[in-house]
Each structure stands twice: as C-alpha cells, then as structure tokens.
A and B are shown apart, each in its own frame.
Chain A
Amino acid sequence: MERFTVKAIQNMLSDKQINAAELFDLYSSRITDYDQSFNAFITSDVEPNVEYITDDKNQESLSDAALTGIPYAAKDIFCTQGIRTTCGSKMLENFIPPYDATVIKNLKQQGAVLLGKTNMDEFAMGSSNETSYFGSVHNPWDRERTPGGSSGGSAAAVAAGLAPIALGTDTGGSIRQPAAFTGITGLKPTYGRCSRYGMVAFASSLDQAGILALSAEDTAIFLESMAGFDPLDSTSVEESVPQYSQYLEENIKGKIIGLPKEFFDGSLASPYEALVAESIDSYKKLGIVFKEISLPNIGYSVPTYYVVAPAECSSNLARYDGVRFGYHSKNIEDLDEFYRTNRQIGFGEEVKRRIITGTYVLSAGYYDAYYLKAQKVRQLINQDFERAFESVDIILGPTTQTSAFKLGEKVDDPVSMYMNDIYTISSNLAGLPAISHPIGFVQGLPYGLQLIAPHFKEHDLLNLTHQYQKVTDWHQMMPKLSMSSESNN
C-alpha cells in the first residue's frame, strides 16, 4: 500500500489517473480493511460529497477551488452537518450537528471530500487517546502503543495511509504530540488563525484547529483553504491568509533559531537528544544560525495550563446536562439528581477530573490563588516569548520527552500523563504557531522536533520544515500495515 500526499493526489487528479469518486472509494476501502487494527475512526460510513464536486451546476464555483476531490479526515470534535459528532464521549454518542464547523465549510467550499471522523480523547482531554469512549487508538508503528492524543485518530489515520491528511485540534499539544508519535507533520496555527466556530470547545482560550499531514507542503496547501477570519468567532483574527505554499521555497539561509536552555536542560534521554542534535546539524547545513536563549518562566507552563484549561472546560462542558442533548437518564424526579446522574454516566474519568479541578480553581476564595495567578503567569510566559523573538526568528525544541509509550502505561497516573505536554503547552498559552516534524527513530518508533514561531508566522514554520524535508526522508517512512484480523479470515 502506498501513502499518497495531497500534492501527489492533486497531480493524479489533474492527470486524470483517478477521479474524486474513485479516490473516495480507495480510502474508504482502506479504512474498512485496516482500521479495525487501529480504531482511528469513530465514524467512517459517511456519504461522500463527491456528488457535490461532480455536479455540473457546482463546476463554476469549483473552478477556482484548491482542493477539489482531495479526501481528508476530521477529528470528531468538528461539527459536521448530518454526520454524528461525538467528541469521543458517551455524552455526545448520538449527537448529529445541524451545521458545519467553519473550517469544515471552508474545506467543503474548496472541494475537499470528508472521509470520516477520527477518534480522539474524550473532549480532547488526554495525551494518549485512551480517554475516548470509543476505545483507544493503536499506533500504526506498534499496535501496543499509543498514537498520542488527543488527536490520536487523525495521526494514526494519516500515518497508516487511511487518509492523506487530517484535521486535529491542539489545546496543549494535541496535534504536535501525536504527529511526533506517529512520524508525521503536525501544525498548530496561531490562536485566532482558524475559526473555532463549530469546534466543540474544551478550553476556549487555548483551542486551535490544525493539520496532521505527511509533509509541510501538504500542510501549507490545506491551511490556505482552512484558515481565515470568521465573523462567527470573535477571537478569530482579521488578518489576511498568505498563500503558504508560495513560501515553501523561500531562502532560509541566515535565519536565526533560538534554543531555549530550559528545553535543553539535560532531562532528555540520550537517544532523543542525539536525534535533536542531528536535526540541528541538518538545519545548520541549510544555513540556519543557532543561538541559545532563555524562557525563564516556561517551567510554569504545565501547572498554569492545568489551572486555565480545566477552569474553562468546567464551564464549557456545563451545557452537557442531559436537558437538551447529551446522555439523558430516565425516571429521575429530582433535578439535581438528574444532573448528577447524567454527568456521572455521560462523562469519563479524565473529563470529570478536569471539571472538578476547574470548578475548584474558579470557586470563591480560590479564584485569586489559582485562576488569577495562572493568568498572570500566562502573561509572563507570553513576555518570555516576546522577548525571545526580538532576537530569533524561530524557537526549536523537542516535541515530546520520548517516543510513543505503551497503551495503559500512564493511564492511572494523570500527573505523568500531563507531563507529556511539557514542551508543547507553552505555545498554546502564548497563542503561538508551532509545528512538529519527524526527525528519526528510536527503537523503531518515530520521534519529532518542534519549531515555534511568532504570531501569524506559520509560513516560516512551513518554509523551514519543507526545506528540512527536502533533504531528509524521515517524513516518508511508513509503518508496515497488515490487514485487520477479521478481513484476513
């Protein structure tokens, strides 16, 4: 089986080697044949909108469309009109949105074809995809291991070739960490770059939609269509969207990358350190200048995040009370009991843990000590980055501390699970764009590197990554797949 990039598919389509309907069928049958091994999709029996792109009357509006016929998968956090959107939760097991999220709409208008909705940690809360009500996702490189989370289904689907590209969301590393664990490229854009409208909210001030892809080039192609100001999202930014793919070949010689000493404090195990050093060498060969910098408050990122994110989530998830939608228990007379039962049964453990944490930090008497203080620290972290970007163009660090860990390994140890996001969380707190791209393997498992840029400099991230990917082939490495047991029989 061959993994096709978006770029390759565009060429195949324009050469008429294949048409949109055939492409959809190709990927649909891959999902049918292989996904039982990975559980990457929650919903894959979707009606293709291939008809939309083949219908004569839509040809005019599609003549300029950038993604006509390109199949893609979307994390099950994006509302899709008429297609079940579970957010990985029992609470939304049967929720069929009556509307499309803005990013889904944007892609539809550009002719992209939705293959299905991918598995995820419940309400995007998790780093291993094990909190999903629909079961864990298996890493295509090793079925015993996690693909990471919360966008684990999207990462596994792209790594395994079940979708050429997929949408994810990143609140604390949920795109970059799974991308690193599955050997693909994952971009979290600037906060406000892509509309959050129609994305089921976890932590509103941190959530951002992004892309998991086989290359920086594919990411650029998709981001062009997906990003942009949305009047329906007050926090989206009215900033024009560059043609990212035009920046890929920009000269990167002389660009300055900062290496925060806090990321290189010796805590990284040597095989990973070696891979990072090797990739730094590759960048040096491309003419990049490196400089040591300091982000003094970055050490507070994880605790800050685990105050802010649960606080927002405790409020965002209050609507799932079983009155209008969500799990709804029967035959309960007392209102409080009704709420309690619905939420006790409808939510999983991790979601409940965060709701309780968030409720606590916002409570009278604790607000100042936790929430307010966290917001202040967040400001300090912001300032650290601002100061750093006065002297460097990009900041580099590992994406994760290790490669993919085993399923079940950390599931009972939330704090160790939370430490997974130690390198990724700060860019969410500061709203910065960041990308993870593969840089090699440790014991057969892919590992990734993270680049962080100033606000709205996604093109720099894509430019650098593309140049790196032109001289390396880590991103082309593909796991060996076997048909799932049932289809083998």
Chain B
Amino acid sequence: MHWETVIGLEIHVQLACDSKIFSSASTVYGKEQNTQASLIDLGYPGVLPVLNKEAVMMAIKFGLAVEAEIADLSIFARKNYFYPDLPKGYQISQYELPIVSHGQLAITLDDGTDKIIGITRAHLEEDAGKSIHDKFSDTTAIDLNRAGTPLLEIVSEPELSSAKEAILYMQKIHQLVRYLKISDGNMQEGSFRCDANVSLKPKENTRLGTRAEIKNINSFRFVESAINFEVDRQKEILEQGGSVVQETRLYDSDAKETRSMRTKEEANDYRYFPDPDLLPVKIDKGIIEKITASLPELFDKKVDRYVSTLSIKRVDAIEIAKNIELAEYFEDALNTYNGNPQLLANWMLTEVMAILNKDKIEIANLSITAQSLSQLIQRIDDGTISSTIAKNIFSQLIESKMDVDELIKEQGLEQISDTTEIEQIVITVLKEHQEQKDQYLAGKEQVLGFLIGKVMQKTQGKANPKLVNDLMVKILSNN
C-alpha cells in the first residue's frame, strides 16, 4: 500500500523580551541557577501575574507577517498539571481565543514550486523551569531561571508531507522570527524547539491516521531524523496489519530513535480554564495599524529587490538574505558604496563568509565594519589597490581595527599604474627569465602567466594586473 505522511509542527519560540511574560525578572540565558526568578516566577503564595505588553506586540507582529487574524479579544488560560519545574502547578497559556489564528506561510520546494502551509494558531504562554537530572547522583535539581520566559507557540496545520517539508517549514519560521526580531532563534539555548505530530494514512483516505507526538526536538537535523524514524516505525506497524497507538514520544538523538513517553490514556487532563488573575487582552485597530507599518521587509521581498533593483544574481541574493544579520550588514555596506552591488555581494559570499565559517562567529562579532568593507571595495573599483591587495588588507582588518585608506597609505599598497615603471619591471623580468621568454616566443603561450606572476612578485602584488598583462604581451610581440 502507498502510505502518505502527514505532519503538523508545534514550534515553541522564545520571544526576545528583556523581562519575563508575567514578571519583571530578566530573561538573560545562562545565569547562575535560580537567580533570575522573581517571587512571581517562583509561584509564591499571594503573587499575581502582570502581562508583559512587549510579548503581545511580538505575537501580533508574527501574526501580521503570516497574514493571520489577530484576535481583538484574546484570553489567557491555565493549563493545570503537576511537575516540579512548574512552580504554580499550572502553566499560563492560551486555549480558546489565541492571539493569532488562521495564518499561512509559503515554503519553496526543491523543484522551485511554492507550497502554502496553514498556520492554525499562534499563542502566548510562559515557559516552565528546568529539571536537571544529571547533576546530582540521586536527586533531581530544579532551575527556575527559565520559568516565565515568554514563548510563542506556533501550530501548523497537518499539511507537511515529508521530513524534508517539515524542515523547510521550520527553517522558514526560524528565518521569519529572526527577521521580525522577535526571537534570537538560538536552538542550542532552547529558544527555538519543536514538537512534531506524525501520522500515516493510505493515499486514497481523507481521514487522518492515528498520530504520535514527538516532543521537544531542538535541531533541524533531529527533526528530520526523528520524523523519518517515526514514519518508518508507523509504516512497519501498519503494513503488518497493526494500528498506531496515540501517544507522546521522545526523540533520543544518540540512538536516533523515538521512544514512547506516555499513551493517550496516561495523558494529563489539563483542565484548561480562563486565568482569573489576568484580564482579557484587547487589541485595537490602532495597534495593529502601527505594527503593520513597522513590519520590516521580509525575505521574499528582499530577495526580489536585490535581484531587480541591485541586479544581484538570484542565488547570491538568496544566500545573503537567508540570514537577516548578513543582509543588514550587506545593506549597511551598500549605503556608503557607489560601485556595483554584485561586487559587494561577491565579497560577502566569499571573503566574509570564509571568515565567519573559519572563526565560527556570527556577523555581529566580525571586527570589520560594513563601512570598512565598503571602503575597501571602493578602492578596488577606483583602481587604488588590486583585489589581491584588498584581500591582504581584509585579513589585516580582521586582526586590528584600522582605517582602510590610512592602511593603504602607511604600507604603500597603492597599485602601480605607472606605465613606465611597469615597463621597466617587465623588461627586467624578461631579462632574468630568458628561457621562458624564448618558450613564449616559440609559441608556448602558457608561460605568460608565469612571467606576469614574476612581475607581480617584484611589485608585491601592487602592479595593476591588467596593465602588466598588456605591457608584457606588447613587449614580447615587439621582439
């Protein structure tokens, strides 16, 4: 039988708010355990939550970016369950009336076509703390620093039909939240994680099969491997005539397999009800208009603009726009640059990327400013330096902050474009390399490169390579 895979994702995005969703405690990651939890996060008797408006703004921003409906009245609900890292014994989340519903997002498949994925809803909630099981031999430790961190849970329709599509969708959401600057999307720190609902059904059936939910997967690679494992597992069960059990499963990244955590019967009854400590959130049109006006240019538009108005090759435009910080750096550099944007793009994708990959750093931590880069390339364009020298300067700029022009001047790196001077050097080189000269004259044109290289060597690369080439050919042909 031909089985069709049906996947829906629930992505948990930690919002980039400075303080928690219901308290004023800081959300900075990696601080000493239990130092970033206020009485509210600790669930002390008598304390009450107060909603962080910034989190609401961010959720609206996301909703608008995925063309969703923004609820004019949205309600927080309590999700009740007991767990040691859940201080209040309930999580404040949203159940009925989430802030965002009925959105959509297009993913681009390998064959270049777009597929629209429905976004059922996106709601605000607080994160729980962390249970640490491996620090002490026979005790579980609780760290409540994360408790109360604002989350946006983005729920897709079950419209993804392969692990590959799931990854594309997840990457697209990841890129979007970073574009909107509502999350750092840091997966190692758990700022971006996902639950996958996976089920199979015979192709001709319209009714969905029984699903398994794989919890808390925190990398693109793991999502792919977890879904593939799960699809194979379910296929095997179904093909042997068995039926899939509705359950929650955990992905073990070491064993590369999913394992049952609890079945439907063992699942909690969360007893959702509206949180009486929080008033319904009213969102008026004015706020939505304001946020709409402040929405940044998103990926697709940016790529189109790079191609149409900057005449950058589409592949390069995509490569730069993929990462919002890279794109912003690029645009910063472009602001002070008068030359061909494609040249700047080339530099971004070769020299700049090489450094980022080599040093494993983000562009934000690159020591060369966008202005310096633009200045450097400007000097290639106006013939002051050769691109070889430019690469040399680029390496120096990484080591220490300096002004490009000063550096060129100080180290005498200006390009030699003086015909007489180059002529002299060409003649000297030809004298020193009689053998190669003879070979060339005998018709072996490949040695030209060698001879030009010698001239460049003598000028420490400063000679204008085109001029060297022209003069060399001219002088040789005069022989």
Contact = CB atoms under 8 A, between A and B. Distances in A.
Nearest to B271: A362
Nearest to A311: B273
A234 B80 contact: no
A79 B46 contact: yes
A415 interface: no
B273 A235 contact: no
Contact of A315 (B44, B80, B279): B80
Contacts of B44: 79, 97-99, 325
Contacts of A235: 48, 276-279
Contact of A324 (B42, B51, B276): B42
Interface stretch (B82-90, B102-110, B197-205, B326-334): B82-90
Nearest to B270: A364
A233 B51 CA distance: 10
Given A315-B78, A315-B273, A367-B273, A234 B90 contact: no
B298 interface: no
B45 A92 contact: yes
A199 B44 CA distance: 11
B45 A324 contact: no
Interface stretch (A200-208, A256-264, A396-404, A452-460): A200-208
Contacts of B276: 203-205, 235, 312
How many chain B residues sit at the interface, stated as a range, is 20 to 34
A362 B48 contact: no
Interface in A323-379: 323-325, 335, 339, 359, 362-364, 367, 371
Interface in A297-313: 311-312
A234 B46 CA distance: 13
Contact of A319 (B48, B49, B88, B142): B88
A72 interface: no
Contacts of B88: 318-319
Given A79-B46, A205-B276, A312-B276, A321 B82 contact: yes
Contacts of A199: 46
A198 interface: yes
A175 interface: no
Interface string A67-100: 0000000000011000001010000100101110
A202 to B, nearest CB: 11
Contact of B46 (A200, A203, A231, A371): A200
A197 interface: yes
- Report whether over half of chain B's contact residues are helix, strand or loop; otherwise say mixed: loop
A196 interface: yes
A197 B89 contact: no
B48 A197 contact: yes
Interface in B274-290: 276-279
Given A315-B80, A335-B84, A339-B82, A359 B271 contact: yes
A196 B50 contact: no
A430 to B, nearest CB: 15
Nearest to A312: B276
A85 B46 CA distance: 11
Interface in A183-225: 196-201, 203-205
A232 interface: yes
B273 A234 contact: no
- The residue among B45, B80, B87, B277 with the most chain A CB atoms within 10 A of its own CB is B45
A286 interface: no
B112 to A, nearest CB: 46
Nearest to A77: B46
A101 interface: yes
Contacts of B43: 319, 324
B128 to A, nearest CB: 13
Contacts of A200: 45-46
A201 B425 CA distance: 90
B39 interface: yes
A363 B89 contact: no
B45 A95 contact: yes
Contact of B90 (A79, A232, A318): A318
B406 interface: no
Contacts of A78: 46
Nearest to B22: A234
B45 A362 contact: no
Contacts of A314: 80, 271
A98 B46 CA distance: 11
Interface of B: 39, 42-51, 78, 80, 82, 84, 87-90, 142, 269, 271-273, 276-279
5 contacts: A85-B46, A318-B80, A319-B89, A323-B84, A359-B271
